[in-house]
Amino acid sequence: MTLLLRGPCRLLTSSPATCRPSRAAVCPSPALRQITHTSSPPPRLLPLQQQQQQHRNASSSSTDTADNNAQPPPPRTPRRRPKTALFFPGQGVQKVGMLAPWLEAFPSTAAPIIQEIDSIVGYKLSDVIQNGPSKDLNLTPNAQPAIMATSILILRILEKEFGFKAFERADFTLGHSLGEFAALVSSGHIDFEDSLHMVQKRAEAMANATKQAEEEYGGEYGMVAIVSEPPYMKQLISAIEEFVGHSSAGAKSESAEDRSPIEQVLIANVNSKNQIVLSGNIERIKTLVAHVRQFLGHDPRAVRLKSDSPFHSPIMKPAVGVMQRILGGRSRVKGREGEDIVTWPGRVPCVSNVTARPFESRSELKDLLARQCLETVQWWGSIKYLDQEEKVRRWVGIGPGKVGRNLVGKEVGMRGKDTVKGGGVWAITDPSEIEEVLRGLEETENLVEEESE
């Protein structure tokens, strides 16, 4: 089947053996192309690294002096449109074959990016993603770079095929745990090659830390989601923090010095108004849940997650050191070898998992990004901050899986376009979803809430 659309959209050709009917929705309709692009075809977009390099060349003022003064990014041209956030998924959304739809729909764009991914990690990660088996893809050293790389592949396809520029369409970026690395790429703070390299080394260090804990102390480690009712959540978190002895940022790293891994349990994620995730020794988690049920008079649901490591617990402390060493070095990107690995300021503010607020300086970004694999992911706080304080009204998830969209939609009360609030929550996980998202963004472009006096 051959589908030919005039204008900036591309020619898609599929043989009968590989044709997928849903791909007809990949290219926007003529009306959507009119609103997505200017009247004349847009210039060919440069790869993301080249766009970032041009930005750095044009803005050489991001020196250490500017960083020390914590100057915000240069103001962008004011636009009367709802504020928009791009968000990226974390570990657990990996799926064998998740690259296939993008290769089928955009072979000439996707293939070089996949080659780049394999070159950066040093082995055929794309084969593991495409062919599995699942037990191999689910291993942390494969799963984390696979998810991050797939997210950026989708973003680059949006850039090249549809003229979608993150720094023009987004006011904030954020990512859930691992997704923060993709968010920092999209916001112009870290180049893709450097970020993917960090993810790979971070994942290896996290897996090794778990193996070391198992060998030295025994026991079983993992993560358990605790699902409660919203009115109980604040009390539940307080009770858990009292039980495990941690209630402030930085306390986790301090605790690792005086407790063996078999005793360590922490709140890894605060995901929503009714869900948190505990991480650490499984038997210790069971004891904690029993304690909560006995003394709170409440019976939250506990669900074991498919995780081979206790992420965001003190067991992950060795990974912090690995991240600090990498972030203290220089870029691996050709032409940037002598430059700092972090670009400051970036092109779009990025919200930290640790503080639930945008990074404020280069040094803070490095510190929090290194600690992020150990500290609690404040996802609920991040969404509340953007929704309630920054008045973000449009949310676009980019990457495999729909977990992020569901968590965001639950908090802000939207599914798809919502003209009452002036925005919507969307996700691009498959090529067939692109048209709906681009159309939704265009249809809500002028739905701006009146600011209260």
Same domain, 323 and 191: yes
CA angle 172, 174, 177 (to 5 degrees): 170
What is the mean pLDDT of the segment spanning 182-193? 98
Same domain, 187 and 221: no
Same domain, 116 and 137: yes
Please give the pLDDT value at position 446.
84
What is the mean pLDDT of the segment spanning 234-263? 67
Same domain, 201 and 245: no
Please give the pLDDT value at position 258.
59
Please give the pLDDT value at position 160.
97
- Find out whether the peptide bond into 133 is cis, omega within 30 degrees of 0: yes
Is 170:418 a contact under the CB 8 Å cutoff?
A: no
| Residue at which a domain ends, from 309, 339, 359 | 309
Q: Give the C-alpha separation, 75 to 78, whole Å.
A: 8
Instruction: Give residue 199's domain range.
Output: 79-207+319-443
Same domain, 239 and 344: no
Same domain, 438 and 323: yes
Would you say residue 384 has pLDDT above 50? yes
Q: Which of 438, 448, 446 is nearest to 37 (CA)?
A: 438
Q: Give the C-alpha separation, 88 to 184, whole Å.
A: 10
Same domain, 222 and 203: no
pLDDT: which is higher, 73 or 349: 349
Transcribe 194-210 into DSSP letters.
HHHHHHHHHHHHHHHHH
What is the mean pLDDT of the segment spanning 314-339? 95
25 domain residue, yes or no: no
pTM of the model: 0.82
391: region left, alpha or beta (phi > 0 left; psi from -120 to 50 alpha): left
| Residue at which a domain ends, from 274, 309, 344 | 309
Instruction: Write the CB contacts of 174 (distance below 8 Å, at least 6 apart in sequence).
Output: 85, 86, 87, 88, 180, 183, 350, 351, 353, 382, 386
Helix, strand, coil percent content, the chain, rounded in steps of 5: 50, 15, 40
Structural tokens at position 254: 């301090």
pLDDT digits (tens, 9 = 90+) for 156-180: 999 999 999 999 999 999 999 999 9
19 domain residue, yes or no: no
Please give the pLDDT value at position 295.
78
Same domain, 198 and 323: yes
Backbone angles phi, psi at 32, to 5 degrees: -70, -35
We report the CATH number of the domain holding residue 141 as 3.40.366.10
Q: pLDDT band at residue 45, thresholds of 50, 70 and 90?
A: very low
* Residue 180, SS3 per DSSP: helix
Q: What percent of the chain has pLDDT over 90?
A: 62
Would you say residue 30 has pLDDT above 50? no
- Domains of the chain: total: 2
Whole-number mean pLDDT of the chain?
A: 82
What is the mean pLDDT of the segment spanning 302-307? 89
1 domain residue, yes or no: no
Please give the pLDDT value at position 16.
36
Same domain, 200 and 221: no
What is the mean pLDDT of the segment spanning 302-322? 92
